[in-house]
Structure 1
């Protein structure tokens, strides 16, 4: 575990599984497309392990780099997001305690941004559907980076947009690859245990704590 020596100036949030508890619906959407449409014959757990990075990267990891044209990957990506949104929209909600946490951070003049591998179509679905854009000073999506997580670019770009040094940021993540991206960026990380268990993060030295939601008292130390 990493100990904080100074108060953070910025909070950088991953989106899926971190601000909303929706990773099950992403996995179900990919599972349906990969198996029913593309014949991958993968288990649910195998699909879940590929749930990081851009949609095109997911397809290339599973099927190989030359399996689809760019146009085919674009179509599959959009189809996947439409299936995800249709399944998740009845359950669209912030993780418990996050609304108050965002308001508290804004009152404390802590800058906030989203750094996600999601495409703008999905980020807008969440941000505007839950009316949280007013809390955010920047958004970095899949379309804004060359290399997605576990590369550091998503988080370093968010820090640059906020004009904050990496060491003055706290990242909120739910996935090992996201924590790795934060570590590469030189940023401490709070982990949400919505999608993965604590022992799956044993290799990362930049974790300051694990939380199940934003009501956890360990978050008081960030203010």
Structure 2
């Protein structure tokens, strides 16, 4: 992995990029609905295509497609609290796994002592629970969680904060995201942007035209020019 020495700061999203927590969020919504007697019949790709654009879009779409859920509980805040409880239970039961290629990349960055940070929408409580189960994640020295910035992705605030804190003006920065929303946040910075996802979002060709590197797995980095 000699290419890693071309950069002085690595930035990583968390959910769906380093760990399979996008699947955990999906299962938590299914659990929340099931506990209310409702069959959340979306497949995982449908969920991702809705959830990965606007933070408020998912609640609106769920209520629109499952009006019986709104009938029994019109407060999304209540439902979201139930979903968060389901996530904690899934994490506690060991459902979270590293995504392919994560361990080798993080090990190489640790050995090379290249600065690196996670920049995530997830709260510190959830992040800490997952880190306790996967020690390789603790080789990442800096973590910016949802409590540390005001405006969620696709606003670039979180990534701009990381770069301001951790990079010198002349440093080359590279960032990795797995969703259009997160990638849009990253593109508002000086970082080289890499999109890592299995889902073929319709925006991918336009992202590539803007200089984004697109791969389907971090395992593909071995065959990618960065």
TM-score bin, normalised by smaller chain: 0.7 to 0.9
Quote the residue 1:51 is aligned against: 51
Q: 1:211 aligns with which of 204, 216, 219?
A: 216
CA distance in 2, matches of 1:107, 1:62: 45
Q: Compute the displacement of 1:165 (Å).
A: 4.5
Tell me the secondary structure at the aligned position of residue 6 of structure 2: coil
The answer to whether residue 160 in structure 2 is matched with residue 156 in structure 1 is yes
Task: Give unpaired runs (5+ residues) of structure 2.
Answer: 65-73
Task: Give unpaired runs (5+ residues) of structure 1.
Answer: none
Quote the residue 1:90 is aligned against: 94
Residues 1:166 and 1:49: Cα distance change in structure 2 (over 3 Å): farther
Aligned partners of 1:106 and 1:135 also within 8 Å: yes
Q: Tell me which moved more, 37-46 or 199-208.
A: 37-46
Aligned partners of 1:56 and 1:77 also within 8 Å: no
Please provide the CA RMSD for this pair.
Answer: 3.5
| Cα deviation digits, residues 195-218 of structure 1 (max 9, x gap) | x22654222214123132335313
CA distance in 2, matches of 1:27, 1:187: 29
Q: 1:188 aligns with which of 192, 211, 218?
A: 192
Aligned partners of 1:11 and 1:113 also within 8 Å: yes
| Cα deviation digits, residues 7-60 of structure 1 (max 9, x gap) | 211111111110012312212322443686497988456643342489778547
Tell me the secondary structure at the aligned position of residue 203 of structure 1: helix
Aligned partners of 2:32 and 2:86 also within 8 Å: no
Aligned partners of 2:17 and 2:178 also within 8 Å: yes
State the structure with more CA Rg: 2
